[in-house]
Structure 1
Amino acid sequence: MKYMATYDLMETARTTSQWLGATAQAIGSYPAVSMVPNPFFRMVAAWGEVTERTFARMIAKPDWNINTVVAGDGRDHIVSVEKVVQRPFGDLIQFQVHGRPPKPRRVLLVAPMSGHYATLLRSTVASLLPDCEVFVTDWHNARDIPVSAGKFDVEDYTLYLVDFMRFLGPDTHVIAVCQPAPLTLAATAYLAAEDPDAQPRSLTLIGGPIDPDAAKTDVTDFGRRVTMGQLEQIAIQRVGFKYAGVGRLVYPGLLQLASFMSMNGDRHSRAFSEQVLRVTKGEASDHDKHNRFYDEYLAVMDMTAEFYLSTVERVFKRREIARNVFKVAGRQVDIASITDVAVKTVEGANDDISAPGQCIAALDLLTGLPDSKKASHLEPGAGHYGIFAGKSWRNNIRPLVLDFIDANSGAPQPGRVHLRTV
């Protein structure tokens, strides 16, 4: 009950802050105060508007907001998001473009489970949709999953990816972004040994910690300094009474958000103050640059405790992927089993989360794969976000990834649909 009370205390603080913001906005917007020439009340209303929006977004799952895409015929085609595989801890979703012939490029985009929703890849999806059939792993918020659904750790995550790849079939090209890169590599190796006919045609790993020790960052240093016992004590709580996952042990999204914000506290405070001034002057809008960024940045989700702790222990501390000793369901996963799947790594030269060297380490593990099926790219001047969603992705990396997909497609048949049941 100690940790459940802590979880509820955090939620109480968030709700209170949201209420204070809404109250300030209401008071400052009251018609009678508009007769007062002093701008104080306008600033109160602006502060309330920004504060209420800030704390409300922390528990709201963002929408994809990808409504249409322009096809080769020059027309806008409606886009709908459909669940094609449903699981307790995450679904496989497809962005269905209606009225457009199926594209030969079929892409599985593996989204991170690192505190934010899969919508963090919204711009990545939008950039791929005109040229590809896009599928995405849509992970669920652990606070909304009943305890009766059981556990979910790195092995379960890997097996989810195995099931998704089997469902989509061998004409699929997998792109893993950041955190899931090591486990996606392991899932591909698992299929190579257990079900080679279900392997994807290519695998692109973007900014992932395949070998965290290859280049140190603040993230890897933290993993080394803190023991697993300390981490469990400071990071793990039980979901409170408000949510369906009541009692489940989680790493709360609000706790992770607090650590994110503290790393760049001055910058976030300045951005908040500047937005209050813009609202006061009537220069802000619902979808301006500030709101677009923070609506996504502040929307956080809880991770199951076993997934968070096993990721730190097995991927970062014990480096099981990097040492090629990772096991799934008691079976040894040998990265060298991958002999047919083309693999490309992408890194950002200025990535301070997964530094250059961590991702390209995957190529050294692929001892059974010919060099002709290996590729790598280091993007100059790019940070972590830029290599999958920023200018570097749009202008340089995306075209390279599509060329890599085409070079390893094995002449797919246009319009072919290859779905399996699981």
Structure 2
Amino acid sequence: MKGMMSYDLMETIRNTNEWMGASARAMASYPIWGLAPHPMFKALSAWGRVTERSFARMVIKPDWGIRSITGDDGRDHLVSVETLIDKPFGGLIHFKVTGREPMARRILLVAPMSGHYATLLRSTVASLLPDADVYVTDWHNARDIPVSEGKFDIEDYTLYLVEFMKFLGPDINVIAVCQPAPLTLAATAYLAEEEPEAQPRTLTLIGGPIDPDAAATEVTDFGRRVTMGQLEHMVIQRVGFKYKGAGRLVYPGLMQLASFISMNADKHSKAFSDKIMAEAKGEGSEHDHHNRFYDEYLSVMDMTAEFYLSTVERIFKGLEIAQNKFTINGKTVDIGKITTVAVKTVEGANDDISAPGQCVAALDLCTGVPDAMKAQHLEPGAGHYGIFAGGSWRTNIRPLVLDFIDTHAGGVKPFRKGRSKVTPIRAN
């Protein structure tokens, strides 16, 4: 079967490296070597610990790890994650803050489906929770979804977003990070035509490829260099026998991870060398910066083949969003139909994945939105990760996004039956 043997081969290699790390750690840690102390044993043990942990993380879904926040009342409030909608390929989750009144700001974070879990936005969520009720799209790992559940492409993804927005109601503020930015724009336009009263109040697009041709990067160049046939032949595999999705065609997370690492191979190599040396010297710790970053970075998920291929073909090659030609079930979605949603774009000056110019293109597409309801921000010196989770986000971008939400919140929109009442935010 196409790709199943190569999928299992990748998993075998990962498993073998994990086993080799565990074996080296255990062997070099025997007390007997204390009788003949030699730095080789400490180095081997350190290499084993780092290797075992790294390869084990690749098949583990990280935990959100947000236990509590401090409220305006000065008390710690426990945080729990509740699932509001659970569908085969993804769900909608809510971070429930115990003992806190419903917040005026309600934010839906649209997480990327690009190889990592939604927990990549952990620090983004943690930074927003003190000031807003936060909801997140939680996409599922394709290797765990049975073939019987059918396909999932970018049209299905967009309709999932439409359903989530309708469920949350019109007083929601949407923030889309990276890959889902063009599809979130399309979902908002779909609602503008099909169910205008369900549109969100504001839409913030962060580092997304609205127009990939606006500024070339290694990602967009790769999309232009290869044909769809070549791409399918090179990267699409079938899930192996170990998982529930056995037989499903996917773009494997391990392959995406290899691609991520190759883009900054020297940087990652130095990071692991430094970590092994620190462990050998006894200076490593469980929750140091290296472990916190790579526990998340190395945890990858598979994407359905149809989602990955349709993203490349229609968003990057066909430029369907950039040229306002995107269709759902054969019907064109006109971005110009958006008229009442305030739109903001955020870009990083040093973003090497979605370069400046790609995301701000959304503002030109929103021809029906008044200029007074549009905003853009280019963060100096910021890379891709920094504009939604790093220092640039916490220091500069987050306050700007919250101010944008407050400015364009407008009056009270109707509350749906059964949803908690929130205090309206008035525009200044």
Question: TM-score by structure 1 length?
Answer: 0.97
The offset of 1:264, in angstroms, is 2.0
TM-fit CA distance, 1:267: 2.0
Task: Give yes or no for contact 1:348–1:380 (8 Å, CA) kept in 2.
Answer: yes
Instruction: Report the equivalent of 2:133.
Output: 133
Q: Please show how residues 198-347 of structure 1 align to structure 2 within 5 Å.
A: 198-347=198-347
Offset from partner CA, 1:347-376 (integer Å, 9 cap, x none): 111111111111111111111111111111
Distance between the aligned counterparts of 1:179 and 1:377, measured in 2?
A: 18
**Separation in 2, partners of 1:52, 1:278:** 16
Corresponding position of 1:158? 158
SS in 2 for 1:137: strand
Identity of aligned residues (%): 72
Contact 2:207–2:347 under 8 Å retained in 1: yes
Residue of structure 2 equivalent to 1:3: 3
Q: Which amino acid aligns with 1:327?
A: T
Alignment of 1:8-407 (within 5 A): 8-407=8-407
CA distance in 2, matches of 1:419, 1:304: 34
Q: Residue 92 of structure 2 aligns to which amino acid in structure 1?
A: L
Whole-Å separation in 2 of the counterparts to 1:417 and 1:105: 19
Name the CA distance, whole Å, in 2 between partners of 1:406 and 1:268.
40
1:416 is displaced (CA, Å) by: 9.5
Question: What are the superposed Cα offsets for residues 186-220 of structure 1, whole Å, 9 maximum, x if unpaired?
Answer: 00000000001100000000010000111111111
Partner Cα distance (2:70, 2:380) in 1: 31
Q: Distance in 1 between matches of 2:182 and 2:77?
A: 35
Q: Is the 8 A contact 2:106 2:171 kept in 1?
A: yes
Find the aligned partners of 1:379 and 1:418 in 2 and give their Cα distance: 40
Q: Provide Cα deviations, 1:138-182, integer angstroms capped at 9, x if missing partner.
A: 000000000011100000000000000000000000000000000
Q: CA RMSD for the aligned pairs? A: 1.4
- Code of the aligned partner of 2:237: Q
Instruction: Tell me how far apart the structure 2 counterparts of residues 393 and 187 of structure 1 sit (CA, whole Å).
Output: 25
**3-state SS of paired residue (1:138):** strand
Paired residues of 1:79 and 1:97 also in contact (CA < 8 A): yes
1:205-238, Cα deviation, whole Å (9 max, x unpaired): 0010000111111111111111000000001000
The aligned amino acid for 1:232 is: E
Secondary structure of the residue that 1:291 maps to in structure 2?
helix
47-56 or 253-262: bigger deviation: 253-262
Distance 2:48 2:81 in 1: 34
Partner-residue secondary structure (3-state), 1:299 = coil
In the comparison of the two structures, how many residue pairs are matched? 419
| Aligned mates of 2:373, 2:358 — CA distance in 1 | 19
**Contact 2:169–2:416 at 8 Å: present in 1 too?**
no
Q: TM-score, normalised by structure 2?
A: 0.96
Question: How far apart, in 2, do the equivalents of 1:349 and 1:271 lie?
Answer: 24
Gaps of 5+ in 1: none
Residue 14 of structure 1, CA deviation = 0.3
Kept in 2: contact 1:167–1:419 (CA 8 A): no
